[in-house]
Chain A
Amino acid sequence: EAGVTQFPSHSVIEKGQTVTLRCDPISGHDNLYWYRRVMGKEIKFLLHFVKESKQDESGMPNNRFLAERTGGTYSTLKVQPAELEDSGVYFCASSQVQGWNYGYTFGSGTRLTVV
Chain B
Amino acid sequence: EAQVTQNPRYLITVTGKKLTVTCSQNMNHEYMSWYRQDPGLGLRQIYYSMNVEVTDKGDVPEGYKVSRKEKRNFPLILESPSPNQTSLYFCASSLSPGAGAPGELFFGEGSRLTVL
A joins B in a complex = no
